Amino acid sequence: MMKIEDKADELFSGINIRPEDLNRDHQIEISSEMEEVMEEVEKADRSYKLALDDPDIYLKFSIACLSNDDLNRAEGWVKKSLRTEKNFLGLLTRGKISQLKGDHKGAIGYYDDALKYNQNFLVYKYKAQALKAREMPERALDAVDKALERKEDAELVAEKADLLVELGNVEKAKKFYEKAESLDSSIDRREKKVDDLLQEAEKKMLPKKYEEILELDKNRNEAWLGMARCYWNLDKEKKAKDCLKEALKHMEEQEILDRLEKYRDLSKESPVCPECEGNGECAKCEGSGECTRCSGSGECPDCGGTVNCSDCDGTGECQNCDGTGKSGWFSKCEVCEGSGECQTCDGYGICTTCDGTGDCPQCGGNGNCEECQGSGICEVCEGKGIKID
């Protein structure tokens, strides 16, 4: 008859004992024969003596149960493995099971013991998770850094970003979110963190919480609206409206405009832009975008782009005396005082409006309205038709 040790070795030979096998990615199918062997060993074990003198077999029993979410039984087997021999994989498995059962403090202790044998990447990763669950972000960040020293991992880089946000270092966190996304384009931890922060902000209703969100993502209209609502409820009407005005710089959201108009109505302040009277068009060019002096031609309106003085047509001669300096046979021309020079251009013949460039002095020759730079949009309200300044 085959000995129980030999049966266990044969039936559980396909189970690996590696740190990565604790992730429970694949369920190990426990056959009826495997179950019989485990029951036989359980009956044979005594508190003062274990039936098998092999820590690896007990550890394989534990991993098989762990993959099937039978945590209590998995814990029982790993305890027996560690009674037989204290080793790295046994301590790591005990820590993982404790963590899954919610005993994060105990898990950290087992991970620390495991690290004395092997400073493995996964041990630091699991330890960081347990520390985070215990709300110890600084220690968790230290564990993440140690893990990343051993292996670059996109999820763990994103985890570091999450911890930095919790510690108030949002600017630094943004860089690590970007790094995580560059390592793995499917990473969406930044978006998830923003969603979590939004939920927290909704509960606490503090503007500071919304500010953290907007540091991560300026285009979250929920955050702008939430922060405005906080200020409004705190009777800080100006801050509420200023918040919505700032939001308009980052996105075109009708909901933001509607809220701003509502707050203005409630505070009896006219929402209509006084410059464009609500139509959103540049008042100076009536929305055409063209320079009103040159009608969009870009040419000097006084010389038509010829650069010639409009009074003397480029001759430089006084128009009263045709350059003679005299108004009669002997009389000196009273306009040019006998010089014979055009008094508009001092005899140079060059257009004084454009200084001889031929370009319209108002638009610089580009033909665009000086006020709106050719956009045709009211500069005061940025084309929105309501007062935002």
Tens-place pLDDT, residues 38-78: 998 988 887 668 888 889 999 999 999 998 999 999 999 99
Helices 170-183, 189-204: axis angle to 10 degrees equals 150
The shares of helix, strand and coil residues in the chain, as percent rounded to the nearest 5, are 50, 5, 45
Q: How high is the pLDDT of residue 95?
A: 96
pLDDT digits (tens, 9 = 90+) for 274-284: 778 777 888 88
- Rounded mean pLDDT, 307-315: 90
Give the pLDDT band of residue 269 (cuts 50, 70, 90).
low
pLDDT digits (tens, 9 = 90+) for 147-184: 999 999 999 999 999 999 989 898 899 999 999 999 99
Average pLDDT over residues 137-153: 95
Percent of the chain whose pLDDT exceeds 90 = 39
What pLDDT is attached to residue 81? 93
| Chain position carrying tokens 């880089």 | 157
Q: Which of 27, 77, 87 is nearest to 57 (CA)?
A: 77
Q: Which two tokens stand for residue 323?
A: 């350059």
Contact 372, 313 (CB under 8 A): no
Residue 270, pLDDT > 70, answer no
Q: Kindly tell me if the per-residue pLDDT of 118 is higher than 60.
A: yes
Q: What is the pLDDT of residues 339-382, one digit of tens each?
A: 999 998 999 999 988 988 999 988 988 999 988 888 888 888 87
Interior CA angle at 306 toward 300 and 309, to 5°? 85
At 23-47, the pLDDT tens digits run 777 788 889 999 999 998 988 887 6
Instruction: Put residue 281 in one of left, alpha, beta given phi > 0 → left and psi -120 to 50 → alpha.
Output: beta
Instruction: Find tokens 């300026």 and name the residue.
Output: 218
More confident site: 76 or 212: 76
Mean pLDDT over the full length of the chain = 88
CB atoms within 10 A of CB 280: 18
Provide mean pLDDT across the span 211-220: 87
The class (CATH top level) of 4-177 is: mainly alpha
CATH pick for 191-266 out of 3.30.1330.60, 3.40.50.10800, 1.25.40.10, 2.60.200.20 = 1.25.40.10
Q: Which of 282, 307, 278, 312 is nearest to 365 (CA)?
A: 307
The pLDDT score that the predictor gives to residue 1 is 40
CB atoms within 10 A of CB 24: 14
Output the pLDDT for position 99.
95
Query: What are the extents of the domains in the chain?
Result: 4-177, 191-266
Distances (CA, A) of 116 to 61, 111, 112, 251: 24, 9, 7, 53
% of the chain beyond a pLDDT of 70: 97
Return the residue matching tokens 């959201």: 253
Number of C-beta neighbours around residue 175 at 10 A: 12
